[in-house]
Amino acid sequence: MLIVAKSTAKIKKVSNSQFVAIALILLFSSFSSAGGQAQSASRSDSHQRDCEVVAKVISGDINWTPQSKLCKDDKIHPVRGRKVEIFCYSHGKLLYLTDSTVSEHCLPVSQRRFENCTLKNGYTCVTPKGAEEDENIPTLITPYGVVILNTNPILSWSATPSATSYMVQIEGKGVNWSVEVKATQLPYPKDQPAMEPGNVYNVNVIANRGDEPIAASASILLIVPIDKAQEIATTINRLQSLNQFQDELAIDLDSVYEAENLLNESILVLKARAKAGSTNPTIYRLLGDRYLETYLPSAAISAYATASKLARKENNTDELVKAEAGAKIADQSQKRLERVRGG
């Protein structure tokens, strides 16, 4: 068990925000996270679908060409002796189907249910994250969210004014180490054992002024089990093998990761497209959604602003409505944070 030096440093566990959880439910019940698929560029689409897109054809259908978008009432018709391969946005998985209506297998994303996070359901829940009570607490920022694939991630946290150093501690199965650093970022130490798949780890960040601890936070990280990681990798490899635009691939990968609550991976994929200069409003709107889910309203506001700007430029009313709805919730979350921190 790791011991925090000087018990005067109060460690606060990051709690779920009821406000953000409710707001997210309202947001996703009104606007589908993957609904932007209908508005994103695709080489196989001759027109935009005026519906909530729930899936995409990969191969094997007589009528639908590869990468065609499917609405919930659409039917598939496999080539004789084969099954139609489709990708469902709602649960981020590939399915192999015979004749049927798409909605029998792929529910609209807006019908997904979000629950409070526990260790039992932590792989499928929304996990808000942030220093709700005190902005001076060195709150863990990355990895984003709680559930992660990387067993030796880069750790970063918010700065504490007047802190001269930070003590980072990780404890869990096979891992028990602490490192003191001056910066607010720490690559996972190469000389320490990596975290193990399928296990939960405690992460403490203690801000020090000289030899005296002045603030601290406690978080947890859940490492995806090996079998689940392999399943995710198989789906991603298949999607990467398709001849898609990079933005379209990023949106698909976001669906895979988000379905498993892998917010860190989703954000990294979307940020990479933003850094590459994407002008697709869906990329930035989804990035805003993911920042909201990790309870980073300030970052969400910025992403939604870019999404709205790009949506207006290309007259994409669907994405504009979604971005503006998300921005409103992010703004309310940011104001709530400011009120709480201000006492």
Q: Using one digit for the tens of pLDDT, what is the confidence trace for 306-316?
A: 999 999 999 99
How far is C-alpha 315 from the chain's CA centre? Answer: 27
pLDDT over 80 (residue 33): no
* 32-38 mean pLDDT: 42
Least confident range of 15-19, 48-52, 96-100, 330-334: 15-19
Nearest Cα neighbor of 34 from 256, 228, 232 is 256
In the CATH scheme, what architecture does the domain 11-16+116-223 have? Sandwich (2.60)
Domain segments of the chain as ranges: 11-16+116-223, 53-111, 242-341
Which is higher by pLDDT, 273 or 73? 273
Q: How confident is the model at residue 230 (pLDDT cuts 50, 70, 90)?
A: very high
Which is higher by pLDDT, 180 or 24? 180
CA distances (Å), origin 145, targets 10, 61, 230, 295, 329: 22, 38, 20, 9, 19
> What CATH fold (topology level) applies to the domain 242-341?
1.25.40
pLDDT over 60 (residue 28): no
CA distances (Å), origin 290, targets 78, 207, 313, 329: 35, 27, 23, 13
Least confident range of 13-17, 226-230, 236-240, 297-301: 13-17
What's the pLDDT at 99?
Answer: 76
Which is higher by pLDDT, 5 or 247? 247
- CA pseudo-torsion sign 73, 74, 80, 86: negative
* 156-182 mean pLDDT: 96
* 239-253 mean pLDDT: 95
